Structure 1
Amino acid sequence: MIKASVFIIAQDEEKHIKRVLESVKDFDEIIIVDSGSIDKTLEIAREYTDKIFHHDFENYATQKEFAKNLCANEWVLNLDADEELSDELKNEIVQTIKSNDIDALEVKISTLYLGKFTHKYGKHIERIRFFRKNSGFYPQKLVHESIKFSGVCKKAKGLIKDYGTQDLQTQISKINAYSTLRATEKTNKNKRSSLVKLIFVFPAIFFKSYVIRRNFLNGRAGFIGSFINAFYAFLKEAKLYEMNLWRKK
């Protein structure tokens, strides 16, 4: 067994969770924190671990910090319920534990979108996902949570595969929910909407996504994804403007 703990937060993930659990079944400990699944998520999870806990959902950062703190091992790996650990990354994790000379691995996320994973020469999202438990924590954030980390970090060669945004309906539902959360965060910090940003954020983010992040390598799927990324950025600013108006009333 790989001497590390895997922690996963989940709710109603029967479509995906077996895949991620299969990819980590040879880890020493698997922690599942569920926030109220009503499908077969827990039934599937019990085939792989008896360390299943309930925690009412507050925000993603709180859920992950709660799950991380339940882990018994020095090394921890965070995966989402709709992800999958690649064999190459698993081997790197084993070598990292064995060598014991760094404190974390920053990992590329390859997303399956409209039938294609992120092109190998495209710009992947990168996140610290494997680390020493006591070297990092999740600061409070409503969405797009990330670990605040101190120590020596190395970029991994292996990938995490993300199956959570395969179709347009799912993506649009997510950006609608996430844009509200991001606008709420900014409103709570007394941030004001900017007319300049409202005008230019769409073309700027489209250019960044399609050209700088090399999404053009993904063909039509890359064009569609970049367009929706740009709309997400616009939506966050538009909702911030709307929330600013509500506060004035």
Structure 2
Amino acid sequence: MRRACSSSTSASIRVHEAGGPVTIAAMPTLPISLVVITHDEAANIARCLDSVPFAADKVVVDSGSTDDTVAIARAHGARVVHQDWLGFGQQRNAASAHAAHDWILALDADEFLEPPLVAELERRLPALLEGDAAVGILRRSTWYMGAPMRWYRPMVGEKLARLYRRDRARWTDARVHESLRWEGRAETFAAPFHHLHNPTLPHKQLKVLRYAELKCRDWHAKARPPRVWMAPLVYLAAFLKDWLLRLAILDGWRGFVVAHVAASYAMYKRLRYFEMHRNPDSIAQAREVLVRHGLDR
């Protein structure tokens, strides 16, 4: 791996304003690759890419967008690689292989860095890149229904391994809800990055349908028993965990909504998996309708 101090290129910082992005400064880059997997993310990809001015390499791995994602990504300094959809875990591992540098920052298109985290990363990354750490743990703050959540723990300071050296870490192969596995030391960063949650509840419900289907296919491949009798108990336990233990109650009605949606997802997965087990033909039938509505690929 190249030494962090050997990078001599620079990147412009762009601030998005009503009239469009404005270039305000230039800064040296570091030998790190920003990697983003996309599909129809035209509304988000520019903000994501522009928020990481210190990355010497930016690569977008797209699975067949039908909007302007690819063109916008290229206009904002990214290399774009096409990769047919493999499932979240395998897609992220495939994307890592396209990075020009061993150290990778993995963001989703609807996530972005704010100046305090940019400054912290610029200050601490040179030592991290030269050291023996395997990953960097970042904190994520989520906006929900147009405003940041204040108390709900999974959306306030959620710790995620998003910065990693690819020869020391690998994503699990799960179709959905993948996670990063690593060997070695981890460093934690204090300033948060931001996640713009699904713009509306309809967006969220469509994602629930897709994620639940992917998770159920994983269960089906492993021949997991359906245990449909657990569904009502799972709903109640999931709701109370989020509503009370994870402090959603303190975020008012938005907290109630997020707890209900999470609990409904937990229950729906089990109902859908029972259907797969009871009627195997429903797997192909559901895939057909999800593909028709752009929820499977």
Structure 1 residues 50 and 156: alpha-carbon distance in aligned structure 2, compared to 1, 3 A threshold: closer
Unaligned stretches of 5+ residues in structure 1: none
| 1:26 positional shift | 3.1
Is contact 1:122-1:217 (8 Å) kept?
A: no
1:86 match: 114
Is contact 2:234-2:266 (8 Å) kept?
A: yes
Deviations 1:7-39 (A, max 9, x none): 001111111111101101331110111111121
Distance (whole Å) between structure 2 residues aligned to residue 223 and residue 50 of structure 1: 39
Deviations 1:189-220 (A, max 9, x none): 01112244212001100111111111223221
Aligned residue pair count: 249
User: 1:77 is matched with which residue: 100, 105, 121?
Assistant: 105
Distance (whole Å) between structure 2 residues aligned to residue 120 and residue 25 of structure 1: 30
Counterparts of residues 211-222 of structure 1 (less than 5 Å): 211-222=244-255
Largest Rg, 1 or 2: 2
Matched, 1:153 2:181: no
Is contact 1:5-1:71 (8 Å) kept?
A: yes
1:64 match: 92
Runs of 4+ in 1 over 6 A off after TM superposition: none
Counterparts of residues 9-158 of structure 1 (less than 5 Å): 9-100=37-128, 101=131, 102-119=133-150, 122-124=153-155, 125-158=158-191
Is contact 1:88-1:157 (8 Å) kept?
A: no
1:169 match: 202
| 1:105 positional shift | 1.7
1:232 match: 265
Aligned AA for 2:114? S
Matched, 1:210 2:243: yes
Structure 1 residues 199 and 164: alpha-carbon distance in aligned structure 2, compared to 1, 3 A threshold: closer
Distance (whole Å) between structure 1 residues aligned to residue 270 and residue 105 of structure 2: 34
TM-score normalised over the length of structure 2: 0.78
The alignment partner of 1:112 has SS state of strand
User: 1:200 is matched with which residue: 212, 229, 233?
Assistant: 233
The alignment partner of 2:167 has SS state of helix
Distance (whole Å) between structure 1 residues aligned to residue 240 and residue 189 of structure 2: 27
Deviations 1:114-160 (A, max 9, x none): 12222167344332001112111122111111111111113321222
Unaligned stretches of 5+ residues in structure 2: 1-28, 283-297
Distance (whole Å) between structure 1 residues aligned to residue 281 and residue 54 of structure 2: 55
Is contact 1:116-1:218 (8 Å) kept?
A: no
The alignment partner of 1:204 has SS state of helix
86-95 vs 2-11, which deviates more?
A: 86-95
- How many percent identity over aligned positions? 27
Distance (whole Å) between structure 2 residues aligned to residue 247 and residue 15 of structure 1: 37
The alignment partner of 1:134 has SS state of coil
Distance (whole Å) between structure 2 residues aligned to residue 65 and residue 188 of structure 1: 20
Structure 1 residues 92 and 169: alpha-carbon distance in aligned structure 2, compared to 1, 3 A threshold: same
Aligned AA for 2:68? K
Is contact 1:112-1:166 (8 Å) kept?
A: no
| 1:109 positional shift | 2.1
Aligned AA for 1:35? S
23-32 vs 156-165, which deviates more?
A: 156-165
| 1:248 positional shift | 10
Distance (whole Å) between structure 2 residues aligned to residue 171 and residue 20 of structure 1: 20
Structure 1 residues 120 and 159: alpha-carbon distance in aligned structure 2, compared to 1, 3 A threshold: farther
Deviations 1:61-109 (A, max 9, x none): 1221111111122321000111111223223323332223433222222
Distance (whole Å) between structure 1 residues aligned to residue 120 and residue 184 of structure 2: 18
